[in-house]
Amino acid sequence: MKQKLIEVKNLKVYFKVKENIFSRVKDVHAVDDVSFTIYKGEKVGLVGESGCGKTTLGRALMGLTGITDGKIYYEGDDVSWLIRKRRLNDLYKKAQFIFQDPYSSLNPRFKIFTILERPLRNFYRMGKEERRAKIIKTAISVGLDEESLEKFPHEFSGGQRQRVVVARALISDPLFLIADEPTSSLDVSVQAKILKLLSDTISRMDLSLLFISHNLAVINQFCDKVIVMYLGKIVEIAGWSELFKNPLHYYTQALINAVPLKDVSVKKIDNVRLEGPLPSVIDPPKGCRLNTRCSLATEFCFEKEPPLLEVKKDHFVACHLYDKK
């Protein structure tokens, strides 16, 4: 029996904006009524266009953005009140974040040693020697040598910096990692190295991972389960091979079609293309949110919002075409 690590129930994150100084305050529905579960040891991919709320969802799980409504459970404990009360230290012990840009997420004034020491000081009572031993062990496990601990971030290349970021996330022995496009600012060959490092550490330390990316090819090679988001909603959840073999939602099909393919095992579905621009998240379309861009949309899609239903075992989709009732 798989153990549940994280359970998200009806999570909503709204931002308040004013379009200009005279207009009313409006809500941006960045994440709107999202529910899913991550089991222990699972690598979950979160994919969608920019502006679909994937980063916000990741940040909300870490308490980096306030949540408007809904509940988040870590190992069965409700942590949403911790986020509301801003008592985040307890949360950070369980979950750690890997940021997109290794250039801006490391403090340029601190040596790598100090950067890696900080989480240990925050979460554990440890002696100096013990701390030092742990830092060296973690640094070596991500492929940094002992000398590099005395260097500053600017002395490293992008790939090396991302290793430091990974080391910082791992050093406090978390249960869960959230990686927000960790490789998008890196070169192809460096990207492969970092992905290899991440996948090795995750299987070694038995961690779970939420991997946020817009790159379907990376998600395809890396994740066990894939969540597809569109305009703040989850439209499809499935295992990776199931999703790429048998994508059900029109949006997922269009995403797969958009990837340059040279592989015959994944078939493109003809005539599936998204038309028009991404609608505004301030006034999302009524009914199904894809109805402005979906060529299969019927009248019903404009009226009622489709629920996320399990159509096959472990394959959820939110589309009226698969809703039998």
Partner 1 sequence: MDNKLSVKDLNVEFTTIKGKAKILRDVSFELKEHEMLGFAGESGCGKTMTSMSIIRLIPPPGKITRGSIIFEGKDLAQNSPREMVDIRGKKISIIFQEPLTALNPCYRVSWQLEEILKLHFPDMDKNERRKRTINILKNVGLSDIKKVLNSYPHQLSGGMRQRIVIAMAIICDPQIMIADEPTTALDVTIQAEILSLIKEIQEERKQLSVIFISHDINLLAERCDRIMIMYLGEILEVADSDDIINKPIHPYTRGLIGSTPRVSLSRKQFDFIKGELPSAYTDIEGCSFYNRCTEKDESCRQQKPELIDIGDGGKQHLVRCFKKK
Residues contacting residue 33 through CB under 8 Å, at least 6 positions apart: 10, 11, 12, 70, 233
Q: How many C-alpha atoms does 224 have within 13 Å on its Cβ side?
A: 14
Question: Residue 122 or 241: which CB sits closer to partner 1?
Answer: 241
194 touches 159 (CB < 8 A): yes
Binding flag, residue 254, partner 1 (CB under 8 A): yes
Question: Residue 240 or 316: which CB sits closer to partner 1?
Answer: 240
Query: Would you give the distance in Å from CA 252 to the centre of its chain?
Result: 17
Q: What is the dihedral of CA 109, 111, 114, 115, to 10 degrees?
A: 80
Residues contacting residue 281 through CB under 8 Å, at least 6 positions apart: 28, 29, 30, 51, 53, 231, 232
Question: Residue 51 or 285: which CB sits closer to partner 1?
Answer: 51
**x/- track of binding to partner 1 for residues 17-56 (CB under 8 A):** --------------------------------xx------
What is the largest distance, in Å, between two alpha-carbon atoms of the chain?
Answer: 68
Binding flag, residue 193, partner 1 (CB under 8 A): yes
Question: Residue 91 or 234: which CB sits closer to partner 1?
Answer: 234
**x/- track of binding to partner 1 for residues 119-148 (CB under 8 A):** ------------------------------
Q: Transcribe 177-238 into DSSP letters.
A: EEEESTTTTS-HHHHHHHHHHHHHHHHHHT-EEEEEES-HHHHHHH-SEEEEEETTEEEEEE
Binding flag, residue 274, partner 1 (CB under 8 A): yes
Give the C-alpha separation, 125 to 106, whole Å.
Answer: 24
Binding flag, residue 265, partner 1 (CB under 8 A): yes
Binding part of the chain for partner 1, among 10-18, 34-42, 143-151, 219-227 by CB under 8 A, reads: 219-227
Binding part of the chain for partner 1, among 26-34, 146-154, 251-259, 284-292 by CB under 8 A, reads: 251-259
Give the C-alpha separation, 44 to 47, whole Å.
Answer: 10
Residues 157-186 within binding reach of partner 1 (CB under 8 A): 157, 159
Binding flag, residue 215, partner 1 (CB under 8 A): yes
Binding flag, residue 85, partner 1 (CB under 8 A): no
Among 222, 238, 294, 319, binds partner 1 (CB under 8 A): 222
Binding flag, residue 151, partner 1 (CB under 8 A): no
β 69-74/176-180 pair status: unpaired
Give the C-alpha separation, 137 to 121, whole Å.
Answer: 16
Binding flag, residue 255, partner 1 (CB under 8 A): yes
The site for partner 1 (CB under 8 A) is made up of 49-50, 157, 159, 187-189, 191-193, 195-196, 199, 214-218, 220-222, 241, 244-245, 254-263, 265-266, 274, 277-278
